[in-house]
Chain A
Amino acid sequence: MPESKLSSSLEDYLEAIFLLSGKDGEVRVAEIAETLGFSKPSVSEALTHLEAKGLIEHEKYRGVRLTPEGRIFARQVYERHKTLFIFLTRMLGVPSAQAALEACRIEHTISSDTYDRLRQFVDDQLAQTGDGLARLSELSPGESAEIVRIQAPGWFRHRLLEMGFIAGEVVTIEKIAPLRDPIEFELRGYHVSLRREEAAHVFVRPIVKDETES
């Protein structure tokens, strides 16, 4: 992957599969073709490429499924898209239809260095307006959020990773202890509690209605 950069259309395929994957993680070829507006044979050809790169698994007569590596990659493409979309609409005032279209183009060509700076900028702006990413410690019981990244000292981040706090995972806030600390969370089907100061290292996107699809 990053060494032999994927063509922009392959990135689109990955992103589409990522967004279409249901609970069982499978997507039908017809769905992909419909979403992207390509013919089924050309979809099949692209899928063969992706499979050869080890990014998806595709068994005959069954759906398409992302490999763990493919999932990471797809999520990054999707993240880029979202960040660009927010930047274009909220910070530059570009109308959303146009922004969605252009985000789709820029996301494939932007360099990782420029993107990092852009992401930092967007995060800062959103933080100032009290919008966008939240810290896990800021949510109320009953709310769910998707983990975006963990900004913590090495060994603590490692511990969180091992406990399953991984980008893309959904965490639900179960309860706040009577003395307001610690906080109980649910993820991956189990319950865990973190201190407020620890949970503040986890940046999440509260789950609300999704406003951007490419």
Chain B
Amino acid sequence: MKRNRKQAEPLASRLARLPSLAEKRGEIVVALAGNPNSGKTSLFNALTGAHQHTANYPGVTVEIKEGVVRREGVTLRFVDLPGTYSLSPHSEEEIIARDILLRGSADVVVHVIDSTNLERNLYLLTELLDLGLRVVIALNMYDELLRSHARLRVRELSEALGVPVVPTIGHRGQGVTRLLTAIVHAASEPEQKEKQKSVHYGETLERALDEIGKGLHERTSLEDRYSLRWLALKLLEGDAVVESLVAVESGGEEPRKTARGLREKIQATYGEDAETLIAEQRYGLVAGIVRQSLSLPLEKRITFTSQLDRVLTHTYLGIPLFLFFMWALFQLTFSLGSIPQGWIESGLGWLTTQVKAGFPAGPLRDLVTQGILGGVGGVAIFLPNIFFLFFGISLLEDTGYMARAAFLMDRVMHTMGLHGKSFIPLLMGFGCNVPAIMATRTLETRRDRLLTNLLIPLMSCSARFYVYVLFAGAFFPGREGNVIFSLYLLSILVAVGIGQLLGRTVFRGQGSPFVLELPPYRFPTPRAILVHVWIKGSYFLRKMGGYILAFSVVIWFLGSWPRLPALSTEETITKNLAQSQHLSEQISYSAIGRLGTLVQPIFEPLGFTREMTIALIVGAPVKEVVVSTLGVIYGAGSDSEEGLREVLRSTQLPPLIAYAFLVFVLFYAPCIGTLVAFHRETGSKAWTVFLISYEFLLAWVLAFVVVQGGMVLGLMR
């Protein structure tokens, strides 16, 4: 109940903070509500097409999309609410959906329903009707209902509920025109609200609701803003958020006490609490209406889904098949993704030579070629991974396999305090942390997303692999495989440990109940997948690309300024040597070089040299740079791998320190892209700072343990 109190407090202020959904002039605001897996998003895409954007709600980290459509001279502004099973205050998504509906800023609510699962979906309707909102039902995935040989008397359903019902097939865009007409009609029809049925909760409960409602009406001014019936229901249920909302209202104490008394009385007479009774009544009404308007085929058919599930979640085959799919997804994203990455690199290389030919040598040319083009490359390089990964993820989500993946993996993830669905983002972290963090959107609660996001940077991504290969080659010849393997193992073990630690401390007691729906398998449509991929890619460019670019330029700048005083020609002995020496001295002379000297004492206990410290600072934002920077500082003549390895070997660094260095590189700080993505997805500066600090601390402590432990074991030669 602690969680409730935490959420309870800011509701009133959050409501005040939410900007009005739209300037209400000649505009109808339509909120799209519905259960997860009801095809709500594809219907939203079909309704609004490309005219959609992410709405900005201060302090709200759940993505809410808006889109505008013109129809019969009216502007319809669609707001896509998070998919929820109910309007209870259990998760941030539900609270936000509820806040928006409560504010009354939606003129019409379109309740998107999975036609093949009427009973469970209609439960939400009873809540919408209790809120006193104008509702239109979109009977989505209607084609599946027809294919299942069930017969639904749509008009009878509509009459029984008192709500317009329009069959739709969201992913094919069918029924959209009729739905738009129904929305415009519902918004302008004065009798719509009177026609709508709401649940009759039985005499005892109704009398209690009347009594609470009367108290609220007489003593408070809440009815200007909220439906009294709904408030009364929530008070009777003991909803902590609403209780505190009423309590802060002047005169609210009395009705709240009345509600408490009635709750106890109901509990005593019925032997069940009001919450249970209310849910029973709601399902009672819904089940009755469904039974009357729906005829199911007589024999239970063996469905395509259950046949497929026999294989895909099979006791022995399920997990190997899952691992195969994950392998395929990984290959698709990172092996296939490296091909366009190669094109991007060579394209930028070509551009760099063009600029070099066109500009005179000097700071400006360096800024363009190294700073800006380098930064653009740093952004563009993520795009192929993002496109391929989200292509794969959309495929998994739209087919319904994602839920099975969570079903298969939950046992493993649960030990880390995570949800089964966290597995895929974490696994993808081994390729690249940035798309992995973006993939946490598939998780349903903010707590799971945050915890998963905190763990993803611990996954050893491919940029770090590049550092391992060079170091292992230089310092552990013949044992490269074992060294690299041990680092990956460490990465996983630490993630498990940190996951458990955070789960038991910071996120204690907030574990979301699993309650995972396993929707029927469905054929994905190419259109829906492409739209999703496009949205993700453009989201990355718009919301993250700019920051990554800016940070890259700044870091480059700090590594190049202030500049060394120009060398006179006399000082040049051989041009080649001078150049590498010059670069080396330049880095030491720059802001970063000086910072390196300054913070060197921190790394003294780890046995790192000043050169290594500088490389760590330069490489903090982009890890693959660690090696090349070391090469530059140590004055490697060439960029080739062999050359770098030679130089590293020539430093005579003890292997133990080299290993500690790798451990440090593994954990120390997320790259710029990861940081920006993390900040964007969590929407929290505090958590971003926490991420950087705990990772740094972790890296230092582990490297220290390696060095000290190694010395005790006599490994230092």
Contact = CB atoms under 8 A, between A and B. Distances in A.
Interface stretch (B310-318, B329-337, B373-381, B433-441): B310-318
A78 to B, nearest CB: 14
A162 B86 CA distance: 7
Interface stretch (B56-64, B104-112, B177-185, B407-415): B407-415
Interface footprint category on A = 35 or more
A195 B514 contact: yes
Contacts of B314: 178
Interface in B1-45: 1, 3-4
Question: In this complex, which of B277, B315, B515 has the most chain A Cβ atoms within 10 angstroms of its Cβ?
Answer: B515
A189 B410 contact: no
B410 A163 contact: no
A193 B85 contact: no
Given A25-B291, A154-B1, A1 B203 contact: yes
A114 to B, nearest CB: 12
Given A163-B515, A177-B408, A158 B283 contact: no
B360 interface: no
Nearest to B271: A112
A69 B281 contact: yes
B526 to A, nearest CB: 27
A158 B411 contact: no
Contacts of B407: 177, 182, 184, 193
Given A154-B1, A160-B515, A3 B275 contact: no
B523 interface: no
B692 interface: no
Contact of B123 (A25, A65, A162, A179): A162
Given A164-B120, A195-B514, A178 B280 contact: no
A192 B275 contact: no
Contacts of B342: none
B284 A68 contact: yes
A193 B420 CA distance: 11
Nearest to A115: B271
A182 B120 contact: no
B232 to A, nearest CB: 17
Contact of A3 (B116, B117, B204): B204
A157 B275 contact: yes
B88 A181 contact: no
Contacts, number: 162
Nearest to B305: A191
Nearest to A160: B515
B203 A159 contact: no
A163 B314 CA distance: 25
Interface string B490-513: 000000000000000000000001
Contacts of B516: 182, 192-194
A181 B288 CA distance: 34
A156 B269 CA distance: 24
Nearest to B314: A178
B659 to A, nearest CB: 34
Contact of B203 (A54, A150, A154, A177): A54
A113 to B, nearest CB: 9
Given A1-B204, A160-B515, A190 B117 contact: yes
A68 B281 contact: yes
A189 B115 CA distance: 11
A105 interface: no
A178 B90 CA distance: 29
A167 interface: yes
Interface in B326-378: none
Contacts of B319: 178-179
A139 B408 CA distance: 19
Nearest to B420: A182
A72 B412 CA distance: 40
Contacts of A116: 271
Nearest to B4: A155
Contacts of A190: 117, 120, 517, 519
B90 A159 contact: yes
A68 B411 CA distance: 38
Given A3-B204, A198-B514, A177 B271 contact: no
Contacts of B3: 155
Given A68-B202, A161-B279, A192-B518, A177 B313 contact: yes
B130 interface: no
Interface residues of B, number: 57
Contacts of A25: 288, 291
A108 interface: no
A176 B287 CA distance: 28
Interface in B284-324: 284-285, 287-288, 291, 309, 313-316, 318-319
Contacts of A150: 276
A165 B410 CA distance: 22
B270 A2 contact: yes
A68 B518 contact: no
A205 interface: no
B280 A159 contact: no
Nearest to B306: A174
Contacts of A39: none
B120 A194 contact: no
Contacts of A181: 410-411, 414
B123 A182 contact: no
A151 to B, nearest CB: 11
A159 to B, nearest CB: 5
A191 B141 CA distance: 17
B518 A53 contact: no
A188 interface: yes
Contacts of B573: none
B411 A179 contact: yes
A97 B276 CA distance: 34
B517 A156 contact: no
A120 to B, nearest CB: 12
A192 to B, nearest CB: 5
Nearest to A190: B117
Interface string A51-79: 00110000000000101110110001000
5 contacts: A54-B202, A69-B281, A72-B277, A161-B275, A178-B319
Given A158-B88, A164-B119, 17 more contacts: A54-B200, A54-B202, A68-B284, A68-B288, A154-B1, A154-B238, A162-B85, A162-B123, A163-B85, A164-B120, A178-B313, A179-B412, A184-B518, A189-B120, A190-B117, A190-B519, A192-B518
Q: Which 4 interchain pairs have the tightest Cβ spacing?
A: A68-B284, A69-B202, A179-B411, A161-B279
Interface of A: 1-3, 24-25, 53-54, 65, 67-69, 71-72, 76, 112, 115-116, 150, 154-164, 166-167, 169, 175-182, 184, 188-195, 198
Interface of B: 1, 3-4, 85-86, 88, 90, 116-120, 123, 200-204, 237-238, 268-271, 275-277, 279-281, 283-285, 287-288, 291, 309, 313-316, 318-319, 407-408, 410-412, 414, 420, 513-519
